């Protein structure tokens, strides 16, 4: 299925007086919101106390921000990479519930809403993938999430999120060409606490979380928790008269800390999530009138997934080095049933049933944090087994079933050393990576399951990934760095193919150049990070339809490039008010892409890459009384620039902005308040695709305004 998009101006025109009044009301409400916020900002300036500024958030306390994703525990402002950090407080205040909601909050990060959690295409600096393995790495508590089917999960009680932009192949290897996202949940502590969170909102949105931290002994502590989330959905399928995007999520998690001495620590984490949803709120899109019809297809589409992640980390400190081990196991099972024509006619019905197991082991040895020279070396190995069965039905008759058995394994050795030279610091890293993948394939035809086209094929990939960085520190508040690194993503097998030459696709490579400046000023109250980058991209893996138009596959283009800049700043105006901003600009285009004899996309912009991302926000806190200590108003505006959805650059989404807000009242034992998303009810398309065989285009509308209330108990 080929997924494209058209601009938001394609919305149905106002057809009634009622709709016209609604639009006027929304504009007045937007003006009212802005008018209410302006006095708050002015009041905040008047209340400033120069004598005793108070740091409100962890992200302002720069000396305490250590980036674990670097594997050497670097300070945020000294690491030689473009890095973004979101603290637990920010996650709560900005009401971030999934990776998709990081769009625009992180410069040049974009993650469209696919319609279900089956897949989660994510792009950083123009690097990303619609199909097969992701181009951006994801770790949750040191457990790697290899498959994009695991990326889109519900956030419950996170501790922090770290995003490193640019290739991270030296330390993380496979499929980190665009960067890496590391998500952390709280670690057990040696005290006894508990918290209960309840939330209710628009469309019967329900979210509840319970978690308790218990000290079991002087050496052992544990966290146990559970969570549930539900929504009736925002869109209705008029044919079935049911919601097309309702979901239920069940979660249970457990984390055990064993810390017998200052030298040794181990953490066992177990996380289970079960997700059930109706999905794909897609409507036929009329290209001539640039308007979306109603969602109207005859077969209810669903997606169910269960995900178990287990991780064991151990760390031993000596007088000279730190020895670490990270062992993980992940099991995923999911099922998809989809009306792939999305019309009221009974045409295509497709099912997909998958099961995956992943085992990963990484052993590292690194220098102590007190060492003048930072170094790290390690071994990495993984084994992943994947079984998949895809069934295709045409007009109620089973046409075929495709069966895949695809084991993949790999190993790597890596090292990195960073050495100071006066006010400079030089870093060199290298990784040798090996991967092997096998596909055992069989196609069964008709109701009698007659075997057809069975084969077994192997692919091997070997790659060396170097990296070099140089930073200059004119003083303790400024870091200037430059980095050159190689990006790499292994080739693989296509799940859908019609010709033998389309069974596989080749690896892709990139050479990445980056210059960055990080500064801290005004007594640690203003931080500014600025980066420019250029990516020379060879043999890019490109999503395209199979010749018949009834599926999609990956093929390789000749030459592409991505270039741009990023700016992040945070400013503590006074003890009551903090503001932040993030801007990213990307121009990613094909330099040489001749699809066939008659189609040349050279010079076109690469799909799914916004021209820019913008995030502006602020927190204002006011003291109240002894019972309600204070209240915090958080406002966050995200804007996504114009982007194209197809290689021909004929389908696009123009720039749009979303305003979110949250009002939080704090007491000694509980927090309570209100939240809202897309407060100005911005009208936009969240997804677009085409089915060439039917000649139809489809869109998924962006979610309308949502409101809710919450209460958090701390025991």
Query: What mean pLDDT is reported for the chain?
Result: 87
Q: What residue ranges do the domains of the chain occupy?
A: 8-714
Distances (CA, A) of 208 to 95, 131, 229, 248: 14, 33, 7, 12
Average pLDDT on 400-429 reads 95
Number of H helices, E strands in the chain: 3, 45
Going by their DSSP bridges, the two strands 109-110 and 123-124 should be labelled as antiparallel
Question: Does 469 score more than 60 pLDDT?
Answer: yes
- The whole-angstrom separation of Cα 712 and Cα 666 is 10
Distances (CA, A) of 79 to 68, 266, 481: 11, 26, 9
Domain 8-714: give its CATH code.
Answer: 2.40.170.20
Question: Does 448 score more than 90 pLDDT?
Answer: no
Of 6-10, 316-320, 550-554, 705-709, the range with the lowest mean pLDDT is 6-10
Q: Which residues have C-beta within 8 Å of that of residue 679, sequence separation ≥ 6?
A: 30, 33, 659, 660, 661, 705
Residues written for the chain: 715
The pLDDT of residue 681: 95
Cβ–Cβ < 8 Å for 412, 429:
no
pLDDT tens, 1-43? 333 333 333 333 334 433 434 444 444 444 333 333 333 333 3
pLDDT tens, 505-559? 999 999 999 999 999 998 889 999 999 999 999 999 888 877 776 678 888 887 9
Q: In 381-391, which positions are buried (b, 16+ CB within 10 angstroms) versus exposed (e)?
A: ebebebbbbbb
């Amino acid at each position: 299925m080929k997924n494209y998009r058209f601009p938001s101006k394609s919305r149905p025109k106002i057809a009634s007086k009622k709709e016209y009044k609604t639009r006027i009301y929304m504009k007045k409400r937007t003006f009212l919101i802005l008018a209410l916020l302006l006095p708050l900002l002015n009041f905040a300036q008047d209340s400033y106390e120069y004598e005793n500024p108070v740091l409100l958030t962890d992200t302002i306390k720069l000396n305490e921000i250590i980036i674990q994703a670097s594997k050497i525990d670097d300070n945020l402002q000294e690491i030689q990479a473009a890095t973004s950090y979101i603290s637990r407080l920010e996650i709560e205040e900005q009401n971030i519930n999934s990776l998709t909601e990081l769009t625009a909050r992180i410069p040049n990060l974009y993650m469209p809403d696919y319609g279900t959690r089956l897949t989660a295409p994510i792009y950083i600096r123009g690097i990303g993938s619609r199909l097969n393995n992701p181009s951006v790495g994801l770790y949750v508590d040191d457990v790697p999430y290899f498959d994009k089917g695991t990326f889109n999960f519900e956030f419950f009680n996170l501790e922090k999120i770290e995003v490193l932009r640019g290739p991270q192949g030296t330390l993380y290897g496979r499929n980190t060409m665009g960067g890496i996202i590391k998500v952390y949940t709280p670690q057990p502590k040696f005290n006894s606490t508990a918290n209960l969170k309840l939330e209710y909102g628009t469309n019967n949105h329900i979210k509840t979380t319970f978690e308790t931290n218990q000290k079991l002994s002087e050496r052992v502590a544990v966290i146990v928790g559970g969570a549930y989330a539900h929504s009736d959905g925002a869109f209705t399928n008029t044919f079935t008269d049911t919601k097309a995007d309702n979901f239920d999520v069940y979660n249970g998690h457990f984390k055990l800390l064993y810390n017998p001495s200052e030298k040794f620590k181990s953490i066992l984490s177990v996380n289970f999530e079960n997700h059930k949803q109706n999905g794909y709120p897609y409507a036929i899109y009329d290209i001539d009138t640039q308007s979306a019809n109603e969602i109207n297809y005859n077969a209810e589409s669903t997606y169910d997934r269960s995900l178990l992640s287990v991780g064991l980390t151990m760390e031993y400190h000596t007088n000279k080095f730190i020895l670490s081990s990270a062992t993980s196991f992940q099991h995923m099972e999911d099922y998809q049933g989809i009306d792939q024509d999305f019309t009221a006619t009974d045409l295509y019905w497709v099912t997909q049933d998958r099961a995956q197991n992943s085992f990963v082991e990484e052993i590292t040895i690194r220098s102590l944090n007190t060492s003048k020279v930072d170094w790290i070396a390690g071994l990495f190995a993984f084994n992943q087994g994947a079984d998949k069965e895809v069934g295709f039905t045409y007009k109620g008759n089973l046409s075929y079933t495709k069966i895949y058995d695809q084991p993949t394994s790999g190993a790597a050795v890596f090292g990195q050393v960073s050495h100071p030279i006066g006010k400079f610091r030089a870093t060199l890293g290298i990784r040798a990576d090996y991967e092997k993948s096998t596909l055992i394939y069989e196609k069964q035809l008709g109701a009698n399951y007659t075997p057809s086209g069975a084969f077994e094929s192997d692919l091997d990939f070997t790659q060396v990934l170097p990296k070099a960085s140089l930073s200059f520190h004119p003083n303790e508040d400024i870091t200037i760095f430059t980095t050159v690194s190689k990006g790499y993503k292994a080739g693989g097998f296509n799940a859908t193919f019609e010709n033998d030459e389309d069974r596989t696709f080749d690896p892709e490579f990139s050479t990445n150049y980056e210059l960055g400046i990080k500064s801290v000023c005004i007594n640690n109250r203003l931080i500014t990070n600025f980066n420019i980058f250029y990516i020379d991209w060879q043999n890019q893996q490109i999503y395209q339809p199979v010749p018949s138009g009834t599926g999609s596959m990956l093929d390789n283009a000749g030459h592409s490039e991505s270039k741009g800049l990023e700016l992040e700043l945070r400013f503590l105006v006074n003890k009551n008010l903090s503001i932040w901003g993030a801007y990213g600009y990307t121009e990613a285009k094909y330099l040489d892409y001749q699809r066939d004899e008659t189609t040349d996309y050279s010079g076109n912009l690469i799909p799914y890459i916004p021209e820019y991302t913008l995030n502006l926000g602020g927190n204002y806190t006011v003291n109240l009384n002894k019972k309600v200590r204070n209240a915090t108003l958080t406002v966050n505006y995200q804007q996504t620039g114009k982007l194209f959805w197809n290689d021909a650059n004929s389908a696009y989404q123009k720039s749009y902005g979303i305003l979110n807000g949250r009002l939080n009242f704090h007491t000694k034992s509980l927090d309570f308040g209100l939240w809202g998303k897309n407060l100005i009810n911005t009208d936009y398309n969240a997804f677009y695709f085409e089915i060439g065989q039917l000649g139809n285009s489809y869109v998924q509308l962006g979610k309308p305004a949502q409101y809710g209330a919450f209460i958090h108990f701390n025991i």
